[in-house]
């Protein structure tokens, strides 16, 4: 049986205190990969804060993106709340995190942050009969995600072509000009 190192215990206690301080200030962090665990934590925190008080919630984003379904679940939760959720990109928003950031009531980005959208990617190697139905579903999901970008931004057809077939990297100033954020600042 492995005993916990006092450094591990101290780090865990510090993390809990930091999370509590942020929670009390109605700040949620979306960092790292969007996966089942991070999505669950964010959704539960959003719902808890909304139940406590109908007041703005700040979601700070520094994320490489991640799972599409988990990101869409975060967006659906933001849309269901009565409390407005403001988003602030602090570092980078890539892939699925770009869409989450678009759904803030107020959308901010720090001066030295980066934004990167790219085509949808998923992995799957299975029987052709299964894959063709999955591909059809994923194509429909991607078309919906494109509509989300188009509805929430001023991205051009050229920008969307880069997203469809590669990567579109933007600075904070470019994001402001393209309607991805409302202002630069934190």
Q: Which residue in this structure is represented by tokens 């994923």?
A: 138
- Residue range 79-95, pLDDT digits in tens: 999 999 999 999 999 99
Residue 162 lies in a domain: yes
> Is residue 180 within 8 Å of 172, Cβ to Cβ?
no
Considering only residues 144 and 132, tell me which one the structure prediction assigns the higher pLDDT.
Answer: 144
pLDDT at residue number 138: 85
Is 45 known to be catalytic? no
Q: Does residue 70 register a pLDDT over 70?
A: yes
- 3-state secondary structure (DSSP) of residue 76: helix
Q: At 124, is the pLDDT very low, low, confident or very high (cuts 50, 70, 90)?
A: low
The closest alpha carbon to 59, from 13, 81, 69, belongs to 81
pLDDT at residue number 36: 96
Residue 52 lies in a domain: yes
Q: How far apart are CA 21 and CA 15, in angstroms?
A: 10
Whole-structure pTM value: 0.86
Number of compact structural domains in the chain: 1
> Is residue 141 within 8 Å of 68, Cβ to Cβ?
yes
Provide the percentage of residues in the chain whose pLDDT is more than 90. 73
Range in 16-25, 112-121, 127-136, 150-159 with the lowest mean pLDDT: 127-136
Residue 103 lies in a domain: yes
- DSSP per-residue string spanning 108-160: EE-TT-EEEEE---------HHHHHHHHHHHHHHHHHHHHHHHHH----HHHH
Using the 8-state DSSP alphabet, how is residue 15 labeled? H
> Is residue 101 within 8 Å of 89, Cβ to Cβ?
yes
Q: How far apart are CA 142 and CA 157, in angstroms?
A: 16
Give the other-Cβ count within 10 Å of 108's Cβ.
Answer: 22
- Residue range 11-58, pLDDT digits in tens: 777 888 888 888 899 999 999 999 999 999 999 999 999 999 999 999
Using the 8-state DSSP alphabet, how is residue 81 labeled? -
Q: Which residue in this structure is represented by tokens 């989450």?
A: 100
39, 63, 95, 113: the active-site residue: 95
Average pLDDT, the chain: 91
Burial class (CB in 10 A: 0-12, 13-18, 19+), 79: exposed
Provide the CATH number for the domain around residue 29.
3.90.226.10
pLDDT at residue number 40: 97
Is 63 known to be catalytic? no
Domain extent, residue 108, equals 23-184
Residue 51 lies in a domain: yes
Residue 18 lies in a domain: no
Residue 109 lies in a domain: yes
- 3-state secondary structure (DSSP) of residue 17: helix
pLDDT at residue number 17: 87
pLDDT at residue number 128: 64
Cα 166 versus chain centre, distance: 19
Residue 11 lies in a domain: no
Q: Does residue 3 register a pLDDT over 70?
A: no
Residue 102 lies in a domain: yes
């Amino acid at each position: 049986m492995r005993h916990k190192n006092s450094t591990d215990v101290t780090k865990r206690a510090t993390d809990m205190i930091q999370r509590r301080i942020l929670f009390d200030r109605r700040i949620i962090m979306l960092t790292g990969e969007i996966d089942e665990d991070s999505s669950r934590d964010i959704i539960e925190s959003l719902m808890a804060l909304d139940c406590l008080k109908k007041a703005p919630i700040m979601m700070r984003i520094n994320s490489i993106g991640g799972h599409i379904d988990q990101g869409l679940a975060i967006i659906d939760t933001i849309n269901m709340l009565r409390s407005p959720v403001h988003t602030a990109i602090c570092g980078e928003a890539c892939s699925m995190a770009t869409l989450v950031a678009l759904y803030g009531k107020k959308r901010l980005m720090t001066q030295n942050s980066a934004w990167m959208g790219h085509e949808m990617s998923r992995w799957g190697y299975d029987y052709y009969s299964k894959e063709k139905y999955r591909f059809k579903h994923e194509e429909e999901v991607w078309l919906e995600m494109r509509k989300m970008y188009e509805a929430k931004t001023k991205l051009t057809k050229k920008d969307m072509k880069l997203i469809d077939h590669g990567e579109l990297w933007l600075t904070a100033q470019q994001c402001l000009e393209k309607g991805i954020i409302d202002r630069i600042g934190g």
